[in-house]
Amino acid sequence: MLSVLVEAGMLATLIYCIILKLIYYICIFSYYNANISHAPLNVVQQLDTHPQKKNQEVIIIVVSTDGSGNFTTIQAAIDSIPFRNKQPVEINIKEGFYREKILIPKTKNHITMIGITDNDETVIAWNSTASDVMYGGQKLQTINSATVAVEADYFIARNITFMNTAQAPRPGAVGGQAVALRISGDKAAFYGCRFLGHQDTLYDHRGRHFFKNCYIEGTVDFVFGNGRSFYEDVELHSDPNYGIPGSITAQKRDEMTIETGFVFVRCKIRGAGMVYLGRAWGNDSRVVFANTFMDKIVMPKGWDDWHIPASDKTVYYAQFNCTGEGASTMGRVEWARELTPEEAAPFITTKFINGESWLEKLPISSTWPSPLIP
């Protein structure tokens, strides 16, 4: 009798425990759901309306090499910002040469970096390459070669020169990719910035990005990645590549339904190295040049399929209303497009990057002049 009672009691306790455990798991699960997996959405909605919150305090941090600011290095300034940052932070970086390798992690949204320049530039430079060996023997790879890597959303940069000073790789050399800036966050804008390097200068990795009055220099694939980006009034400067034609872009879209692609409007292509407008890193690679000046350094064929003829049918490589000797479509590959105004319409405004939902609300002016453009 007693043992039956004890067993019943134990069973009740057991059931009680199971119920408690279940409640615990349900709570944990919904906590994670609310705070982790759905967090990016909430944060995005909040941030999209944020710039209109007039009285939101902006945290200002000053970085200066001479010790007159809050920090002497940019990374120290970034490290001082709390994780899951929700407040706009403006890092004012006084002119000078910052030899640093910088990471802005995913959890630090809403950082603006401004070069405060008087006579000189604010330069951030490092010299990693893809083949550098890390502690432990592994290769760094292209993605980790960036001088500045931005993984956060709502990043803005103004008046800053991003540079990778590694030597230009010789033809056939492996692992010479050396990124100056990698942008992997969504909704980023760059005004009056310069990007200097050789192979793989600007890693436009993923997300929607806006570049205005910038200058980008390199040899091979110097604007590459799977971003969905709008470049306006940007100078693309092609350097000589040991006599072998380089390529401005290597856009990586590999599915027709993905909305990524690079659009260049009112840009200028100049320099001294023969270049293709793009080569197909992804088989649905998408690049459009509109109202752009192309100097004679552009290869008459225009585009390269990177030895995969099947891509000829799937890439979207187009130009619209371009000028200059290099813009002639006479010698172009058969699969290059010349757009009609109707076909060009979806590409030639910042609607291409949904600008109306975020770009126009950023706390900056799109008319900022830039003294850095020659």
Ligand X SMILES: *[C@@H]1O[C@H](CO)[C@@H](O)[C@H](O)[C@H]1NC(C)=O
Paired residues of 237 in beta bridges: 217, 270
Range in contact with ligand X (rule: CB under 6 A) among 57-65, 139-147, 218-226, 273-281:
57-65
The residue of the chain with the least Cβ separation from ligand X equals 192
For position 166 contacting ligand X by CB under 6 A, the verdict is yes
Residues 102-131 that bind ligand X (CB under 6 A): 117, 127, 129
Residue number, 274 or 294, with CB nearest to ligand X: 294
For position 319 contacting ligand X by CB under 6 A, the verdict is no
* Number of neighbouring beta carbons within 10 Å of residue 44: 16
Residue 221 annotated in active site? yes
Residue 358's H or E segment, with its range, is helix 355-358
Closest distance of CB 100 from ligand X, Å: 13
Give CA–CA dist 318/312, Å, rounded: 13
Among 291, 328, 349, 366, binds ligand X (CB under 6 A): 291
75-84 in b/e form (b: 16+ CB < 10 A) is bebbeebeee
For position 321 contacting ligand X by CB under 6 A, the verdict is yes
Backbone angles phi, psi at 77, to 5 degrees: -65, -45
For position 310 contacting ligand X by CB under 6 A, the verdict is yes
The residue type found at 310 is A
Contact string 240-259 vs ligand X (x = CB under 6 A): --------------x-----
Backbone angles phi, psi at 309, to 5 degrees: -60, -25
Instruction: Exactly one of 153, 204, 221, 284 is catalytic; name it.
Output: 221
What is the CA angle 330-247-250, rounded to 5?
110
Among 147, 159, 164, 241, binds ligand X (CB under 6 A): 159
Among 46, 323, 354, 357, binds ligand X (CB under 6 A): 323
Residues 182-221 that bind ligand X (CB under 6 A): 191-192
Q: At which residue do the structure tokens 């995969």 appear?
A: 308
| Number of residues that make up the chain | 374
Q: How many helices (H) and strands (E) does the chain have?
A: 5, 27
Residues that bind ligand X (CB under 6 A): 59, 61-62, 70, 117, 127, 129, 158-159, 166-167, 191-192, 254, 283, 291, 310, 314, 321, 323, 341, 368-371
- Catalytic positions, written as ranges: 221
